Chains A and B, each alone.
Chain A
């Protein structure tokens, strides 16, 4: 196989091996390699590579650095909760196990540069050194001088070193206030549909033919492509659902050539997968178990969100209902809803919806405690004494995060609350106490 990635200064065999490792990314690999130049040459001080998740940024960079055996340090910024860890890993990769011990405790960038300079005069390298920082967007949250410092590291340490930053986010969001050394921007475009297909087909099951797997992948893409273009996610879904696809073949009900029947079999299954496995409602282990149990219908298993209902005491349920009504109804309508003899309120006057958007679009409004209690007494049929237990139930609803307290100015005197549950949840609750909540909601009149 000829090396599609060409760059003088490297062995041809290694370039061939590299080409094989980066399917559909040859163009990006060769531009990156052209920018890095030959190993002995100087390279640009900092390169910023951006592109969507799973578009092969880290893979291509790592493949180049590993296959061509260039001195490099690959650091994930997620792991480095402090800058010190980042420095340690870099020194470890470049100068061996002894190097990090030269750093003082909680080192600053200054210490790092000093140690680096000292070590690099002891062991000079003829080749460019590369520091790859994965998930570089997290660098912005670290000390302010770290990112500008790393961008001009070549100048600061006076060594042939290049910093490669990998991120999903565009460079414009990184730039500090007073500016910095501008890196070279390199974009990794998303995979096209054909390319996704080509990559996914590569890991076909040895028991079946590649064509069959190809048709399976195209069905999969047909369902998921409009929602998800993440290669890793698609690969995961492909691996999970393959056994279901091959089921009719194993039972010898259909032949491999009968793609239409296979499609009819798998399509509803994949649609169900989008609502369950794709959202991680059902874990992949559960999904696989479910496929083995033939009789059970997929999705019959309750997902994570189906467990959302909580067991609450009787009065707590009513308190929550009252809180929901207080949050989503305007206060001027309370008389109409909760008073038995509210006198005459003109229907036209009442229903003037000058606010066009409903409260269910804008979100819950805060309400005072008095209003909550007033609505509570009105919706509960029996007489309830305002005991300590009622008030403690309110505060326990706050700790359960079903209510939130707004403004911490005063705990005791007229606190304000918001209701933080969804409509589905409150409907389920009110069904258990046989209370028709929709009748009381202004938005649904």
Chain B
């Protein structure tokens, strides 16, 4: 044992880095859960208690977990389920059905999925159910036959719950919640959604059968907690094979979180959003820069990642348009200024551009109209301009009304950043009459 240990502690730097990358990537990308979620203790307790009552006592329940995207709804639920399944008497006792609103887009598919996950396929297979109604009837019959004491409880997890509310007549939701209200087989219906107004989407009869128990995951985290979370997310676990490396790594992470410039980046990020996902994204970007030659995350890596995740993508696209296209955008901006946001067509833009060429441009030559049309169409493909009314081959292309999808400052900034922008174009951009 000791021999093995000594060999392990002499991993090369490359192996260590690779191992650390592996652990952290699994955490960031795959949303691995190992520790109880931070800052959600009361919600965690509530949910665990509720599900345990279903699993152990056979009580039927329904609950909605509501929170913005990336606030850890799935993570909380998965952790609770994992905890629950570790309990001895529960593990063999409950059945779990997971549905996702993105996958099960109508009730028929959802029903098939339920039968499949409850392993009722064989039973159904013999009877050859044709219609949806028969299938549903069978399933309900199977659930009705059970009672509180004898049958196994079923936990239904409905991810993207709001999408289930868009099904026709909300049949599935009605039936599931109806079972949970009446004395039949014990079920727990757990819905996960990011819509706060989800109850307004439900029909009256469905709503009345729902228990109105909601768990809100609204993060009340302060910045110091956030920093602490960054530290814990970046640290490698204690069971890391090379203890020397892990100590160094964790120390460097601690130092990193105390760095002033890093704190600034994190504060900026914190101010824009508090969710786990965007934090993971930021940390992953920084982690990607860790190599053998620099085996720890440096402040500069995080700064770079922060800059990366906060770039304006439209500005990036504007940087790459040709000078003719930039001129057209400036012309559109002037039209917007003069006519106060009224839509324009190609003829007006071309007219404005021609005025510029004839009046003061010395660097831009006079392009033929079809060439300008081609540039205009390219802008439309990039969706920087959009037709006001969709459709219609009926209107001639030159006269189709368009809207510019950029605002004033974006255009001006693009002109400033444009590489080797001719001076007269720059002047024209800042003032329409100069």
Contacts and interface: CB of A to CB of B under 8 A. Distances in A.
Nearest to B29: A42
Give the secondary structure class of A's interface: loop
Contact of B277 (A160, A181, A364): A181
Interface string B374-386: 1100000111000
Interface in A135-190: 143, 145, 148-149, 152, 154-156, 160, 168-173, 178-182, 184-185, 187, 189-190
Interface in A28-45: 31, 34-35, 37-38, 40-45
Nearest to B396: A420
Contacts of B31: 155
Interface in B335-392: 345, 347-348, 351, 364-365, 367-368, 370-371, 374-375, 381-383
Interface stretch (B137-145, B205-213, B310-318): B310-318
A43 B371 contact: no
A179 B382 CA distance: 22
A179 B193 CA distance: 11
Interface in B32-77: 69-70, 74
Interface string A249-269: 000000000000000000000
B278 interface: yes
A37 B394 CA distance: 51
Interface residues of B, number: 69
B263 interface: no
A422 B395 CA distance: 12
Nearest to B350: A361
A362 to B, nearest CB: 8
Contacts of A6: 291
Contact of A275 (B29, B348, B371): B371
Interface stretch (B149-157, B182-190, B220-228, B281-289): B281-289
Contacts of A192: 419
Interface stretch (A50-58, A335-343, A434-442): A50-58
A110 interface: yes
Nearest to B17: A8
Nearest to A150: B102
A52 B320 contact: yes
A35 B288 contact: yes
B347 A361 contact: yes
Q: Count chain A CB atoms within 10 A of each CB in B69, B102, B396, B399 and give the residue with the most.
A: B102
A35 B284 contact: yes
Contacts of B364: 226
A245 B382 CA distance: 34
Interface string A1-45: 000001111000000000000000000000100110110111111
Interface in A190-224: 190, 192
B29 A44 contact: yes
A278 interface: yes
A116 B18 CA distance: 29
B295 to A, nearest CB: 11
B396 A363 contact: yes
A187 B322 contact: no
Given A8-B14, A187-B311, A190-B319, A108 B21 contact: no
Nearest to A224: B322
A203 to B, nearest CB: 22
B69 to A, nearest CB: 5
Contacts of A232: none
A305 interface: yes
A185 B313 contact: yes
B18 to A, nearest CB: 6
B242 interface: no
Contacts of A422: 396, 398
Contacts of A171: 313
Interface stretch (B89-97, B103-111, B173-181, B426-434): B103-111
A227 B277 contact: no
B340 to A, nearest CB: 14
A99 interface: no
A35 B321 CA distance: 27
A9 B313 contact: no
Contacts of A357: 348
A279 B374 contact: yes
Nearest to B420: A193
Contacts of B347: 360-363
Contacts of B371: 227, 274-275, 278-279
Contacts of B311: 187
B104 A110 contact: yes
Give the secondary structure class of B's interface: helix
A227 B419 contact: no
B284 A363 contact: no
Nearest to B289: A34
B29 A226 contact: no
A227 B162 contact: no
B110 to A, nearest CB: 9
Contacts of B323: 226-227
Interface string A274-302: 11001101000000000000000000000
B342 to A, nearest CB: 11
B21 A37 contact: yes
Contact of A168 (B105, B381, B395): B381
B243 interface: no
A76 to B, nearest CB: 17
B298 to A, nearest CB: 15
Interface string A344-369: 00000000000001001111100000
B378 to A, nearest CB: 8
Contacts of B394: 404, 420
Nearest to A278: B371
A85 interface: no
Given A229-B322, A361-B347, A178 B162 contact: yes
Interface in A104-155: 108-110, 113-114, 143, 145, 148-149, 152, 154-155
Contacts of A420: 394, 396
Contact of B317 (A52, A109, A228): A52
Interface of B: 14, 17-18, 21-22, 25-26, 28-31, 69-70, 74, 100-105, 109, 113, 116, 162-163, 194-195, 277-278, 281, 284-285, 288-289, 291-292, 309, 311, 313-314, 316-317, 319-324, 345, 347-348, 351, 364-365, 367-368, 370-371, 374-375, 381-383, 394-396, 398-399, 419
30 contacts: A31-B288, A34-B288, A37-B25, A37-B288, A42-B29, A43-B25, A44-B281, A109-B103, A109-B105, A110-B105, A145-B101, A145-B103, A148-B102, A149-B102, A155-B74, A156-B103, A160-B30, A179-B194, A180-B69, A184-B285, A190-B319, A190-B320, A226-B322, A226-B364, A229-B320, A274-B368, A274-B371, A362-B345, A362-B347, A363-B398
Kindly list the 9 A-B residue pairs having the minimum CB-CB distance in the complex, ordered from nearest. A363-B399, A190-B320, A34-B288, A110-B103, A170-B313, A42-B29, A149-B102, A52-B320, A226-B323
Interface of A: 6-9, 31, 34-35, 37-38, 40-45, 50-52, 55, 108-110, 113-114, 143, 145, 148-149, 152, 154-156, 160, 168-173, 178-182, 184-185, 187, 189-190, 192, 225-229, 274-275, 278-279, 281, 305, 357, 360-364, 404, 420, 422
